[in-house]
Structure 1
Amino acid sequence: MELNFELKTLQLKETFSIAYGNYDTREALLVELSYLNCKGYGECVAIDYYHIDLKSFIIRLKEIQPLFEKQTVVHPEDFFRFLSTLNLHPFLRSALDCAYWDLFGKLENKSFTELNHIPSGNLAESSITISVAGIEDQIRKIEKSNWNIFKVKCKGLHKDNIEKLLRLNRNIALDSNASFTDQDCLWLQENEKISQFSYLEQPRPVDQYTVLKKEGFANWMADEDSQDLNSLEELLPYYKSVNIKLMKCGGLTPALEMIRKAKELGYTTMIGCMTESTVGISAGCVLAGLTDFVDLDGANLISNDYASGNFVENGKIILSGKPGLGIVVK
């Protein structure tokens, strides 16, 4: 098996503004695993608030490259056990795990959903992100959009804006990227109108969630608080929902386990994304048949997508049905 990799720059269609900052580009690391005439692809991106350094990832890949040359084709679960011995950052492990699932499916001539018996019909629609801006600009974008479901980014709580969004009578979620205060959270979860929002994502900074009460009117959804399988039981008294992202948890293999565990515990689940190309989004799309919510708009936000595969069109998840993750790099 051969391992290759390349840095890419993703250009945003417009400045992406969230509580953490403003972004016009994202750096991505494309990973390729090849065997015989088949190639599988995975991706991770540099997110500053996760302190991701892609150059350090490349140094690590060069170190472990000889180990991949010795690897034979095994089941992806066995390959993930091999990855788990390498002490990799979850973002990098995710890129390699997804690339292997893509390669394995292509070698077996079966799609990921076939290999894992995942439903591929009647999938939940994806949301589109409305980045931080003046409320009138945000409302204008919602009203002009062809999408049906929206995730509105907030920087702090502005009660007048909440009222304006509710009056739209649209399918809207809120994502404050940890910018709400304890007092904000108390007001939201005690306000019956707030139940009209489909969910409210990551209201407080990491590990500052004890003010949250899942019995309240707010459907609190954990994002940065929920990094992996081990976080789920601890968060149960506070959150009703959990956002599962492949890069956070380390790939498709652990994401499958995390979704199953979250459902056992009674969470509603979402498969989410960051700003990614179709390489990353293709991997997320194959899990849409297992989750209640979908937020896979990442490739729709960039202007220089370098791959084709599974994709999202006006919120609808389009599975290619092709072997593996169906990824083709242009």
Structure 2
Amino acid sequence: MTIHLTAAIERFPIAGSFTIARGSKTEAVVVAVQLEQDGLVGRGECVPYARYGETPESTLAAIDALAPALSAGLTRADLQKALPPGAARNALDCAMWDLDARRAGTSVAALTDLSLPQQIETAYTISLGTPDAMADAAARAAHLPLLKVKLGVPGDVERLHAVRAAAPEARLIVDANEGWHGDDLPVLLDICAHCRVELVEQPLPAGQDAALADLDHLVPICADESVHALAGLDELAGRYDAINIKLDKTGGLTEALAVVQRAEELGLQIMVGCMVSTSLSMLPARLLASKARWVDLDGPLLLAEDRPDGLVYRGGEIGTGPSGLWGG
């Protein structure tokens, strides 16, 4: 009955490059976890994020350090206390859910009483670039229902107008990645409203949320970097209209479910998001789709190649069928 842990850093080339206000990258670096018990294998994946002080090496070390505890019977409830919210706990938590479902001969959806919608529309990300480059990318993706536009540096007004002109019928989300300033925010939000943007993610740096409390705005504002897990969530009510739940921030599906419940109690709308990663990261997050007004799980679409048995994407929709990769 002993659980055997295997974890490794893995790299997946990005198709081209991926650029946000904090920089560019050409590969997704993930930490993959396998938990094996009696011939059954549970899998998980996480994306260490330097913005939160994580590296692939430190994340792998934190996971490997729990190997003796896992062999001794560490439970998922124990895991929530053994590691803080973050990438390392996410990979292990999701692997434990997967293993639990396989041992029970059922799916993680059944264990959590969550059901997938018949259709799941996902945002597709338009990487930060020049107005012309972003317009070209938006034109190629204009047939998709929802585009997420990366902004957060000088020249955003021109970028947004260029994208809207190139994709006049697409729904738009804007993600400033903490790159806007309070003095400019009213004007930028008015321009977003004019361009029919339906959500603005994290316009101000985390920690400057108080400035949003008395701000009149037509477009809903969503917290991303300002919200990680349950701790601090209540303080965001009245400042944000929505929160972006990412399993790499909550530390896995277990706390994400608790965050969903509390957000609903606080009247916060829900977006479920991801880092650039494979379907092994998307599948646990996909379970939250029925709770979310916005779904942004396009990570595999940004890769040159996904894992085998990954999710199927068609026309901006995520396949809802079972997967042998994770979750049953």
Spell out, residue by residue over 1:190-221, the C-alpha distance to the aligned partner (whole angstroms, 9 max, x if none).
Answer: 56835821201011111112222465112111
**What is the Cα deviation at residue 133 of structure 1?**
1.1
Check conservation: 2:117, 2:289, Cα contact below 8 A: no
Please name the residue that 2:117 is paired with: 121
**What is the Cα deviation at residue 118 of structure 1?**
1.6
Check conservation: 1:110, 1:323, Cα contact below 8 A: no
Please state whether the residue corresponding to 1:22 is helix, strand or coil. strand
Question: 1:53–1:180: structure 2 CA closer, same or farther, 3 Å change rule?
Answer: same
Deviates more, 1:163-172 or 1:88-97: 163-172
Question: 1:204–1:292: structure 2 CA closer, same or farther, 3 Å change rule?
Answer: same
Deviates more, 1:101-110 or 1:151-160: 151-160
Please name the residue that 1:230 is paired with: 231
Question: 1:298–1:219: structure 2 CA closer, same or farther, 3 Å change rule?
Answer: same
> 2:135 matched to 1:139?
yes
- CA-based RMSD of the aligned residues comes to 2.2
Please name the residue that 2:20 is paired with: 18
User: C-alpha distance in 2, partners of 1:124/1:190?
Assistant: 29
Spell out, residue by residue over 1:67-102, the C-alpha distance to the aligned partner (whole angstroms, 9 max, x if none).
Answer: 111228xxxxxx322102323552111110001111
Spell out, residue by residue over 1:130-162, the C-alpha distance to the aligned partner (whole angstroms, 9 max, x if none).
Answer: 001112221222222242210010132533433
Please state whether the residue corresponding to 2:248 is helix, strand or coil. helix
Please state whether the residue corresponding to 2:210 is helix, strand or coil. coil
User: C-alpha distance in 1, partners of 2:118/2:215?
Assistant: 28
- Aligned letter for 1:120? L
Percent sequence identity over aligned pairs: 26
Deviates more, 1:316-325 or 1:128-137: 316-325
Check conservation: 1:95, 1:251, Cα contact below 8 A: yes
- For residue 102 of structure 2, the aligned residue among 91, 99, 106 is 106
User: C-alpha distance in 1, partners of 2:269/2:170?
Assistant: 20
User: C-alpha distance in 1, partners of 2:317/2:14?
Assistant: 21
TM-score (norm 2): 0.90
Please name the residue that 2:302 is paired with: 301
Aligned pairs, how many? 321
> 2:148 matched to 1:151?
yes
Please name the residue that 2:159 is paired with: 161
Unaligned runs of 5+ in 1: 73-78
Please name the residue that 1:283 is paired with: 284
User: C-alpha distance in 2, partners of 1:89/1:237?
Assistant: 24
Please state whether the residue corresponding to 1:85 is helix, strand or coil. helix
Check conservation: 1:310, 1:325, Cα contact below 8 A: no
User: C-alpha distance in 2, partners of 1:196/1:254?
Assistant: 33
User: C-alpha distance in 2, partners of 1:220/1:61?
Assistant: 34
Please state whether the residue corresponding to 1:139 is helix, strand or coil. helix
Spell out, residue by residue over 1:154-184, the C-alpha distance to the aligned partner (whole angstroms, 9 max, x if none).
Answer: 1325334333444424201111111111122
**Pairing 1:242-257 to 2, within 5 Å after superposition:** 242-257=243-258
Please state whether the residue corresponding to 2:240 is helix, strand or coil. coil
Deviates more, 1:122-131 or 1:173-182: 122-131
**Pairing 1:184-203 to 2, within 5 Å after superposition:** 184-190=184-190, 193-194=193-194, 196-203=196-203
Unaligned runs of 5+ in 2: none
Please state whether the residue corresponding to 1:141 is helix, strand or coil. helix
TM-score (norm 1): 0.90
